[in-house]
Amino acid sequence: MTQPIRRLLVANRGEIARRVFRTCRDLGIGTVAVHSDADADLLFVREADVAVRLPGNTPAETYLRADLVIEAAQRAGADAIHPGYGFLSENADFAREVLKAGLTWVGPAPESIEAMGSKVESKRLMAEAGVPTLDNLAPDAVTESDLPVLVKASSGGGGRGMRVVRRRESVAANVDAARDEAASAFGDGTVFIEPYVEQGRHVEVQIIGDAHGTVLVVGDRDCSVQRRHQKVVEEAPAPGIPDDVRTALHEAARLAGEAISYQGAGTVEFLYDEQKQRFYFLEMNTRLQVEHPVTECVTGLDLVELQVGVAERRALTELVPDGVPAPRGHAVEVRLYAEDPSQDWQPQAGGLGAFEVPSDLQFVTPTAYGVRLDSGFQTGDEVSTYYDAMLAKVIAWGPDRRAALRRLGGALGRARLHGIRTNRDLLVEILRHPDFVEERLSTAFLSDPDVLDRVNGSGIPSVPPSEQGCALFAAAVACTEEVARRRPVLQAVPAGWRNVTSAPQRTSFEADGTRVDVGWLGGRDGYVLADVYDEVGPARATSIEDLGDGLWRVVVELDGTARPFDVALDGDRVDIDWSGGHWAFTRVPRFVDPADQVAEGSLLAPMPGSVIALRAAAGESVTAGQPVVVLEAMKMQHTINAPHDGVVTEVPVSVGTQVAAGDVLAVVESTSSTRSTDSTTSEETS
Active site members: 287
How many of the other CB atoms lie within 10 Å of CB of 127?
13
- Strand locations in 62-197 (E): 80-82, 104-105, 149-153, 163-165, 191-195
Q: What is the number of alpha carbons within 13 Å of residue 180 lying toward its C-beta?
A: 8
Residue 541 and residue 476 in contact, taking contact as beta carbons nearer than 8 Å: no
As a whole number of angstroms, the distance between CA 659 and CA 631 comes to 9
- Three-class SS of residue 14? helix
Please state the φ and ψ torsions of residue 357, each to the nearest 5 degrees: -115, 120
Residue 330 and residue 298 in contact, taking contact as beta carbons nearer than 8 Å: yes
Positive or negative torsion for Cα 667, 385, 383, 159: positive
Which DSSP symbol is given to 137? B
The CA-based angle 303-306-309, given to 5 degrees, is 155
Q: Which amino acid is at 260?
A: I
Q: Sort 426 into a burial class: Cβ within 10 Å, 0-12 / 13-18 / 19+.
A: buried
As a whole number of angstroms, the distance between CA 517 and CA 506 comes to 6
CB contact set of 562 (below 8 Å; sequence gap of 6+): 542, 555, 556
As a whole number of angstroms, the distance between CA 437 and CA 619 comes to 54
Strands 7-10 and 80-82: parallel
- Three-class SS of residue 632? strand
As a whole number of angstroms, the distance between CA 126 and CA 159 comes to 21
Closest to 14 measured CA to CA, from 79, 94, 84, 88:
84
- In the chain, how many H helices and how many E strands? 16, 40
The CA-based angle 502-506-510, given to 5 degrees, is 165
Positive or negative torsion for Cα 49, 53, 57, 63: negative
Residue 376 and residue 335 in contact, taking contact as beta carbons nearer than 8 Å: no
Residue 71 and residue 46 in contact, taking contact as beta carbons nearer than 8 Å: no
Closest to 85 measured CA to CA, from 249, 303, 338:
303
Closest to 472 measured CA to CA, from 565, 589, 569:
565
The CA-based angle 394-395-399, given to 5 degrees, is 155
Task: Show the 3-state SS of 86-98.
Answer: CCCCCCHHHHHHH
Q: What is the number of alpha carbons within 13 Å of residue 12 lying toward its C-beta?
A: 26
The CA-atom distances, in angstroms, between 462 and each of 453, 493, 603 are 10, 38, 30
